Each structure stands twice: as structure tokens, then as C-alpha cells.
Amino acid sequence: MILLWTGALALSVLLYVLLDGFDLGVGILFAFTRDEPQRRRMLAAISPVWDGNETWLVLTAATLFGAFSRVYATLLSAFYLPMIFLLGALILRGVAFEFRYKTERLRWLWDLCFVGGSTLATFIQGMTVGALVEGLPLSGGRYLGGPIGWLSPFACLCGLGLCLGYALLGAAWLVGKTEGDLRERSYRQLPWLIAGVFAFLAVVFFYALAEHLRIMHRWLERPYLLVFPALGAVAAAGLVIGVRRRKDLLPFPTTALIFLAAFGTLAVSFWPYMIPFSVTVDQAASPASSLDFMFWGAGLVVLPLILLYTATVYRVFRGKISGVEDYH
């Protein structure tokens, strides 16, 4: 049962990163065009799905709360301020979808909320992962680092890296979803974003080597784990080919595969810990009775239902968006 809930948690986190990743990425790229028709089409490309994508964040939090309450308590205490500001950023970018069409004079305000909210939310998510990789000051399951104990150059670097990564996902999504000048523009942005993401990965790698992060030992002990980075490399090759040959449907799946590889890399780096090097998955799990109880409701009904409607909405809104349409 612990394994099942760990799997459910991993699935929610992965789907959240992939799905909300691209719409947050489109939010970041939104800043790089002033052209109103292009902006409208960028919004139209994500408007049917963005709020559904954020369901996976809710599900992640709910799974942590129910099945891994120790991790929930520790992480949300440690990241109190970042999580509050993450929520604020998501609220502001969410209303921007609706409010920007209600006004002409103040549209800049909501566009600012959209870009700022998307960027801040992405940065905070990346920073959180960075801080986890580096290790939090914990003792006996209690966080001892103070309000900004997670703040470090490495965490900020990871925040920036995730902004690049989500922008890459966003551009790849736009290439598959749009036509004309917006598609061309996204194709021109892709090589820069690819270069940026790989530069970031290289810096992280050398930083980890230089600082002797504990995570690195795991890789030296078990070289067969390199299958995940290898998968990422293959996906990256596919992505480059897709961009070169202008195959619209190739960039997004390959970018998603890169993210999957990165996620797998992190997961096997952490395993069996949930909060690296202090709380293992087994220690973090709620009592068996809670896990069993949750299985019959959340596990058997809610999770498949969300999966089903997520699949349905992507099926309904598949294909390219046409013309300059208003959202609604």
C-alpha cells in the first residue's frame, strides 16, 4: 500500500510538472511578444487546460497530506513563505485569463500578473526542488532552518533552471498547437531554450561534483542508474531533430521525455528517502489504516476520475487552434 501511494504521488507530481509546466512556460514566453493577436493565440492554446493542469498540484498536496503527513508537515513548515507566495502567484495568473479581456486600459496590469505570476510560481517550484536536493536543516523530522533557511545560491539556480525548462515546454507546446507567425517564433525560441536548459544542467552537474553533494555518491555506487540521463539524451536528440526539420508534433513529446528523465533521475537519487537523507518513504507513510481507508475513496475513485477527465479534455481540444479566436 505504501508503494501504491508513493506511485500515486510520483504520478501526480510528474503530471503536474509536465502539464502545468507547459502552461506556466507559455506564461513566461508571453513576456516576449507585444503582439496582441499572438498573445491571444498563446492564451487560447492553454486556456482549455490550464486549470485542469493545476488539479494535479492539489492532488499532490492532498496525497502528501493523507498518505505522507509527516512530509507534508515538514515541507510546508520549511517552505512556508515560498508556498504562500506560490499560491499568490497562481491566483494572480489565474484571474488574469479572465480579467485581461474585461479591460483595454488596464490590460497591462493583468498581463503583468500573468507573466509575473507564471514566472514566480515556476521559480519557486524550481527553488524548492533545489533546496531539497541540497538538503534541508532538519532534526528528528522538525525543520530548524528559520524562515529562509532554504535560500541558497544553488536553490536560486534551480529556480532559474526550471524557468528555462518550463519555457522550453511552453515553446514546444505552442509549436504543436499554433500556426503562422507564432509557430515560427516559437521555433526560433526553441534552440535558445534548449541551449539554456543544457547549460543549466551542466552547471548543476559540476556544482554537485564540486560541492560533493551526497546525492552524487548514489550515482557513483550504482552506475546502472545512468539509464535515466541516457533516456534524456536520446529525447534531447529527438527534440533537436524535431526543431531542425520543423516536425510540429515532435518537440513537445520529446521535451516531456526529457522532463520524465530528469524526474526519474531525481526520484532514484532520493530513493528510499522522501526528504533526502532524513525521512524515508517508509517513515513518512501514514498508518496502514489511513492508507487503506484512502485507497477506497481517493485511490479507487478520485484518481482514475481525474486521469479520465484530463485525458478527455486533451482529446476534445486536440489539434491546432485556428484563427484569432476569443477565449470563452
Q: Which of residues 47-76 bind other proteins (CB under 8 A)?
A: 73
Longest dimension (CA), the chain: 60
Q: Which residues pair with 139 in a beta bridge?
A: 142
The one among 3, 4, 58, 95 contacting other proteins by CB under 8 A: 95
Instruction: In angstroms, give the least distance from the CB of 140 to other proteins.
Output: 11
Q: Which of residues 138-167 bind other proteins (CB under 8 A)?
A: 142-147
Which alpha helices (H) appear in the chain, and where do they start and end?
A: 2-29, 36-46, 50-67, 69-78, 80-99, 107-134, 153-177, 180-211, 214-221, 227-244, 251-270, 281-284, 288-294, 303-316
By the rule CB under 8 A, 246 interacts with other proteins: no
The span from the CA of 12 to the CA of 18, in Å, is 10
By the rule CB under 8 A, 108 interacts with other proteins: no
Contact 150, 129 (CB under 8 A): no
The span from the CA of 327 to the CA of 42, in Å, is 10
CB under 8 A: which stretch of 4-12, 94-102, 152-160, 279-287 binds other proteins? 94-102
By the rule CB under 8 A, 312 interacts with other proteins: no
By the rule CB under 8 A, 78 interacts with other proteins: yes
The one among 202, 237, 311, 316 contacting other proteins by CB under 8 A: 316
By the rule CB under 8 A, 305 interacts with other proteins: no
Cβ closest to other proteins, residue 12 vs residue 119: 119
Count, residues near other proteins per rule CB under 8 A: 24
What b/e readout covers 226-245, taking b as 16+ CB neighbours within 10 angstroms?
eebbebbeebbebbbebbee
Cβ closest to other proteins, residue 99 vs residue 198: 99
Cβ closest to other proteins, residue 211 vs residue 325: 325
